[in-house]
């Protein structure tokens, strides 16, 4: 570049322009001598640096993008602000540093697709329309795994910018093979299927939907409690078989004045409290992570785990599944329970040792169980939980309502979109 002082400077920094489906890019350009320098960068952080319309470099991270902007700005300002030889030489040097080198291997190019790639491991929804609507402003490329097997997940997720997951397992060995993933969004509350430590090591943000299906699951837990306590499924079975008598269903006890013990006090059991109290049921809670002040504000009594087992007529499980809570309800736990107490589990199946539960049901130590979740799903046909009049089983449907399915997709996908756009997610979660 020569004779730069005789040329007009045309400098337009950071002008937002529309591109694609609602996305934007930032454009900065300058004319230095006979050369025109331009940078365009998309909303999700990639950009092109061009001289005279020819691409010089492709930048796809914030640091290299910022450096390119600074180089361009400095080249324009040195020519615009002074006519001295030193400044002209500096402008020449900066602009020259941005030119392509002779060898293709020296060209500063980082390959990145124009659209973000999002992989879906599995889903239980009729369609992914709410997800696509929440991601529309990114105009992403979506790939759905053929199955939840690790190889099928990696086939679509290895080079994905983000992953959306429902029940599929994302262990450490799989996460370590992800090349570009910035976010993993869980369609739900529990994240025991994701190795959070491995995700953190890879710099991947994990998000979830903590208020998903809170009303539905608390309704389901209350419905299971009522159905079990009032022996409704058993009564229906008797009538359907032609028996219209009271003695087979006796005894049934009044709900008013009974005690419900909640193991865990997250969002779901908190919504269960007023529903149980409406029947005159007293509620006690064991959760070592919730303060007595919080419990008092919710109108419940905090007790130790053993004390809860001793006094509760109904025990409803709402603990997260962790290495320390797996098998929490085992033979020793059942022996500590009030004889004939009823167990409700709408949390995670492996929280309950099913072999120990069957034994406790056989001896009458546990009077009945209502389970929406089991250790291995679907339940096997030879399970000893089947065929019992004092056991109610639902196929992991406590979460379900049409509204809940729409909400969880929208919230999960929106948070992943925030991460891909360089924003902070609303509901991130990290390993404890």
Q: Where are the domains of the chain?
A: 4-106, 117-212+404-420, 214-393
Quick one: pLDDT at residue 43?
44
**Torsion angle of the four alpha carbons 351, 355, 360, 366, in this order, in degrees rounded to the nearest 10:** 40
% of the chain beyond a pLDDT of 70: 74
Scored b (16 or more CB within 10 A) or e, 326-365 reads: ebbbbeebbeebbeebbbbbbbbbbbbbbebbbebbeeeb
Q: Looking at residue 79, what DSSP letter applies?
A: H
Same fold? 117-212+404-420, 214-393: yes
On the question of pLDDT at 85 being above 70, the answer is no
Quick one: pLDDT at residue 335?
98
Strand order in the sheet with 162-165: 141-144, 117-120, 162-165, 183-186, 205-207
Which of 186, 258, 286, 396 is catalytic? The answer is 396
On the question of pLDDT at 424 being above 50, the answer is yes
Work out the mean pLDDT of the chain and round it to a whole number: 84
**What's the CATH architecture for 117-212+404-420?**
3-Layer(aba) Sandwich (3.40)
Judged on CB neighbours under 10 Å (0-12, 13-18, 19+), 9 is middle
How far apart, in whole angstroms, are the C-alpha atoms of residue 178 and residue 70?
31
Q: Where are the alpha helices (H) located in 121-209, listed in sequence order?
A: 129-135, 150-157, 172-175, 196-201
Q: How confident is residue 39, by pLDDT bands cut at 50, 70 and 90?
A: low
Quick one: pLDDT at residue 24?
38
**Tokens of residue 234, six digits:** 């058993």
Question: What's the pLDDT tens digit per position in 5-20?
Answer: 323 333 344 443 333 3
Question: What's the pLDDT tens digit per position in 176-221?
Answer: 999 999 999 999 998 999 999 999 999 999 999 999 999 999 999 9
Quick one: pLDDT at residue 51?
58
Quick one: pLDDT at residue 329?
98
Which of 377, 388, 402, 403 is catalytic? The answer is 377
Q: Looking at residue 312, what DSSP letter applies?
A: -
Quick one: pLDDT at residue 41?
53
Judged on CB neighbours under 10 Å (0-12, 13-18, 19+), 23 is middle
The average pLDDT across 247-267 equals 97
The average pLDDT across 147-172 equals 97
Quick one: pLDDT at residue 55?
55
How far apart, in whole angstroms, are the C-alpha atoms of residue 69 and residue 25?
13
How far apart, in whole angstroms, are the C-alpha atoms of residue 334 and residue 353?
10
Quick one: pLDDT at residue 27?
52
On the question of pLDDT at 356 being above 90, the answer is yes
Which of 286, 318, 348, 418 is catalytic? The answer is 348
Q: How confident is residue 159, by pLDDT bands cut at 50, 70 and 90?
A: very high
> Who has greater pLDDT, 3 or 298?
298
Quick one: pLDDT at residue 106?
38
Quick one: pLDDT at residue 295?
97
- pTM for this one? 0.69
CB 145 within 8 A of CB 128: no
Q: Looking at residue 401, what DSSP letter applies?
A: -
Per DSSP bridges, beta strands 23-32 and 12-19 are: antiparallel
Write out 97-115 in H/E/C secondary structure. Answer: HCCCCCCHHHCCECCCCCC
What are the backbone dihedrals phi and psi of residue 61, each rounded to the nearest 5 degrees, phi first?
A: -140, 160
CB 151 within 8 A of CB 379: no
How far apart, in whole angstroms, are the C-alpha atoms of residue 34 and residue 36?
7
Quick one: pLDDT at residue 431?
84
Question: What's the pLDDT tens digit per position in 368-381?
Answer: 999 999 999 999 99
> Among 49-58, 322-331, 356-365, whose mean pLDDT is lowest?
49-58
Question: What's the pLDDT tens digit per position in 238-255?
Answer: 999 999 999 999 999 999
CB 130 within 8 A of CB 384: no
Quick one: pLDDT at residue 120?
98
> Who has greater pLDDT, 115 or 31?
115
**Tokens of residue 147, six digits:** 């199955």
Quick one: pLDDT at residue 432?
73
Indicate if 141 belongs to the active site. no
Indicate if 348 belongs to the active site. yes
The average pLDDT across 297-312 equals 98
Identify the CA nearest to 390 among candidates 413, 411, 365: 365
On the question of pLDDT at 345 being above 90, the answer is yes
Domain 214-393: top CATH class: alpha beta
> Who has greater pLDDT, 216 or 80?
216
Indicate if 377 belongs to the active site. yes
Determine if the peptide bond prior to 21 is cis (ω within 30°): no
């Amino acid at each position: 570049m020569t004779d730069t002082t005789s040329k007009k400077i045309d400098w337009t920094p950071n002008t937002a322009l529309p591109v694609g489906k609602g996305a934007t890019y930032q454009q900065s350009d300058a004319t230095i001598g006979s050369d025109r320098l331009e940078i365009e960068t998309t909303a999700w952080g990639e950009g092109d640096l061009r001289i005279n319309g020819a691409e010089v470099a492709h930048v796809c991270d914030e640091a290299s993008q910022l450096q390119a902007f600074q180089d361009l700005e400095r080249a324009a300002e040195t020519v615009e602000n002074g006519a001295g030889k030193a400044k002209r030489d500096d402008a020449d040097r900066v602009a020259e540093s941005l030119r392509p080198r002779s060898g293709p291997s020296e060209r500063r190019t980082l390959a990145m697709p124009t659209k973000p790639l999002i992989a879906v491991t599995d889903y239980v929804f009729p369609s992914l329309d709410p997800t696509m609507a929440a991601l529309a402003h990114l105009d992403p490329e979506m790939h759905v795994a053929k199955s939840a097997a690790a190889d099928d997940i990696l086939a679509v997720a290895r080079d994905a910018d983000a992953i959306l997951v429902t029940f599929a397992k994302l262990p450490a060995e799989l996460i370590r093979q992800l090349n570009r993933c910035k976010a993993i969004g869980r369609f739900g509350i529990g994240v025991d299927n994701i190795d959070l430590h491995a995700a953190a090591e890879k710099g991947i943000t994990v998000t979830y939907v903590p208020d998903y299906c809170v009303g539905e699951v608390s309704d389901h837990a209350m419905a299971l409690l009522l159905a079990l306590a009032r022996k409704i499924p058993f009564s229906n079975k008797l009538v359907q078989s032609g028996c219209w008598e009271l003695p087979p269903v006796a005894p049934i006890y009044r709900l008013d004045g009974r005690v419900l013990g909640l193991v865990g006090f997250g969002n779901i059991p908190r919504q269960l409290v007023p529903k149980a109290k409406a029947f005159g049921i007293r509620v006690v809670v064991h959760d070592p992570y919730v303060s007595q002040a919080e419990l008092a504000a919710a109108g419940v009594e905090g007790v130790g785990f053993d004390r809860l087992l001793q006094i509760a007529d109904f025990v409803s499980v709402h603990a997260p599944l962790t290495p320390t809570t797996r098998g929490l309800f085992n033979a020793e736990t059942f022996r500590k329970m009030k004889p004939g107490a009823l167990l409700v589990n709408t949390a995670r199946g492996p929280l309950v040792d099913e072999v120990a539960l069957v034994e406790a049901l056989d001896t009458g130590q546990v009077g009945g169980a209502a389970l929406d979740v089991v250790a291995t799903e679907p339940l096997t046909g030879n399970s000893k939980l089947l065929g019992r009049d004092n056991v109610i089983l639902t196929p992991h449907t406590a979460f379900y309502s049409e509204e809940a399915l729409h909400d969880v997709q929208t919230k999960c996908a929106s948070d992943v979109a925030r991460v891909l756009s360089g924003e902070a997610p609303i509901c991130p979660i990290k390993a404890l």
